[in-house]
Structure 1
Amino acid sequence: MREIESLPDLDAVLADGRPLRGLRLQDLDLGGHEAQLLARGDVEGMVVLGGRMTDELATHLRAQGALVFPTDPHAPVNPYRASLYQPHELYEGLTTRGYEATPDALAYHWSRDAVRAHDAFITLLRAVHDDSITDALDEFLGDAPVVGVMGGHAIERGTPAYAAAARLGNVLAEAGLTVVTGGGPGAMEAANLGAFAPDHGALEDAVDRLSHVPSFRPAIEPWAEVALALHDELIHTPVAEARVRSVGIPTWFYGHEPPNVFCNGIAKYFSNAIREDGLLARCTAGLVVLEGAAGTVQEVFQSATRLYYAADDDVLPVVVLVGAQHWATRIPVWPALEALAAERAMEGRIHLVDTVEEAAALVIGT
């Protein structure tokens, strides 16, 4: 089996004369290759995932033993896409029709409507979409060292906590790490922004400009519009174009949280469980946990489970909680982590600190 995700790859396969049996064609416009494919009978076991083709070609492929997967014509996103999202894709139509008409909002409602209707076909398409996003994320990140930054969505722009999270993202990215977050607003946006900014001066200016629209509540439109304008300035800097520095991994499960835009790529999932597991599994260079509530606590213990059951000879990433009073007293996660870590390999890999500077030093120093 071989995945074909681009037309040049398809051209190469057709040119070398090999059988097409077992190929996976993902999200391709086959219009320019129709005559060649209609002339081929060696397509048994080929799987065509989405894309565009005529009814004649689809009928021919099926008659020769290929599987042609349909889509839902009402789907606001492409279930078979072969690449991560970019911010303007998810926010298309924001300035003219408002957030509720964007693909991001429509995808959430499409998913919720299918759940209420117990629609098995849409459930299947959501699963295919999420698997496609996982594949695209693997290719996008490659072997880059990844550090996760977790934290609450409620932290507003213009606050000291937001500025601190942005500094953290910038320091980590400058150290050569790819910063990955849950892709939402608040601390997640700040860390992605810090990683995305080309230098400290640009970051300070960005934090100041964003502070004029502190929150996505009560209206998402002004919050997103100022961010998209800033994104478009930063994306064309040499630093942003040099390598992947910032990735968001949000989910439509949290329909009330719009995605932040300060990312080289956005891996948005329908399934929060798949998203959480994949996000944490990729944090091979460490995990920094800023102050947060229920969602952040879930991520802490999901990460702790991986550390707890690790073998003695496993190379374990560090997990650093920032905010001693918050994590030891207000939401007493730290005592539970200490109890779990006692006399296990994870004992020396968990830390509680008070500043993002301390957290960055621990991650970069390992």
Structure 2
Amino acid sequence: MTERPRPAKAKGPTILRGRAVDGATTDQRLLDHTGPADWLHADPWRVMRIQAEFVEGFGALAELGPAIGVFGSARTPQDDPSYALGEQLGRALVEAGFAVITGGGPGAMEAANKGACEAGGVSVGLGIELPFESGLNPWVDLGVNFRYFFARKTMFVKYSRGFCVLPGGLGTLDEMFEALTLAQTGKVTSFPVVLIGVDYWRGLLDWLRGPVAESGRIWPRDLDLVTLTDDVSEAVRIMVENDAEAPS
């Protein structure tokens, strides 16, 4: 008789199951301003844990080589066209000489990791402690779990040469706009962002070109940082050309 699956949760490098699963995340406790004031006195110790996350991430990824970050929804089912697109993208990036870095979760992230792994490339997953995900997908060869979003984001930007973005939700939008903001403000250079899925992303770009740009809240040239396509080969070509032109 098969046992009933128990709830599971990744908490940094630790896996919790069953009654050991707690209802809060480390990020939540760090940012929450309610509750007992004794958390205030623990903040210096949190700094040590944050430092450890950076050290572990830098150590794991320092010799990774050229890599591309791939983002997309964890809720993408395997029979969704975006899943097949993610597999194709992961495979094509490896064939072009890149490692593939995802958030390590299910859905579109799993698809990109699977394509990279099956193509014989380096498949990386940078996981995050969440109350509703239970660790890295099985196609991750090199995985690092983080407690803090900002430490994880630093790894994505530092070790990726660009981002390919499949259809996704709030987490995907967060990573995409983070990259665009860093590029717009000159914090990162030579950092292309390609949105894959014309029908899915067109409305967002129309809104940015329309009321957002027309009201002066962004410059129209800011949208030159983004390419919209349905063609995986075009997305990979942009990454290859950017990598060739980037200063060594």
1:100 aligns with 2:15: no
Change (3 A) 1:161 1:280: same
1:183 maps to 104
Report the Cα distance in structure 2 between the residues aligned to 1:127 and 1:96, rounded to whole angstroms: 39
1:164 aligns with 2:85: yes
> Do the aligned partners of 2:66 and 2:98 also contact (CA within 8 Å) in 1?
yes
How many equivalent pairs are there? 220
Question: 1:104 Cα shift?
Answer: 2.4
Q: Which has the larger radius of gyration?
A: 1
Higher relative contact order (CA 8 A, sep 6+): 2
- Scaled by the length of structure 2, what TM-score is found? 0.74
SS at match of 1:267: strand
Question: 1:279 Cα shift?
Answer: 1.9
Deviations 1:142-186 (CA, angstroms, capped at 9, x unpaired) = 251121001111101233221110111111122221211112111
Change (3 A) 1:184 1:123: farther
- Scaled by the length of structure 1, what TM-score is found? 0.52
Change (3 A) 1:295 1:156: same
2:220 maps to 342
Runs of 5+ consecutive residues of structure 2 not aligned to the other structure:
243-248
Query: How large is the Cα RMSD of the aligned pairs?
Result: 3.2
2:58 maps to 138
SS at match of 2:145: coil
Question: 1:334 Cα shift?
Answer: 5.6
Report the Cα distance in structure 2 between the residues aligned to 1:128 and 1:187, rounded to whole angstroms: 33
> Do the aligned partners of 1:147 and 1:287 also contact (CA within 8 Å) in 2?
yes
1:292 maps to 168
Question: 1:308 Cα shift?
Answer: 0.7
User: Of the candidates 192, 196, 200, which is equivalent to residue 326 of structure 1?
Assistant: 200
User: Of the candidates 264, 270, 288, which is equivalent to residue 147 of structure 2?
Assistant: 270
Identical positions, percent: 26
Question: 1:268 Cα shift?
Answer: 1.3
Q: One-letter code of the match for 2:88?
A: R
- After TM superposition, list the pairs within 5 Å mapping 1:168-317 onto structure 2: 168-197=89-118, 199=119, 239=120, 245-252=122-129, 254-258=130-134, 259-283=136-160, 285-310=161-186, 315-317=189-191
- Structure with the larger strand share: 2
Q: One-letter code of the match for 1:105?
A: L
Change (3 A) 1:176 1:122: farther
Report the Cα distance in structure 1 between the residues aligned to 2:239 and 2:206, rounded to whole angstroms: 18
Q: One-letter code of the match for 1:190?
A: A
Report the Cα distance in structure 1 between the residues aligned to 2:22 and 2:221, rounded to whole angstroms: 47
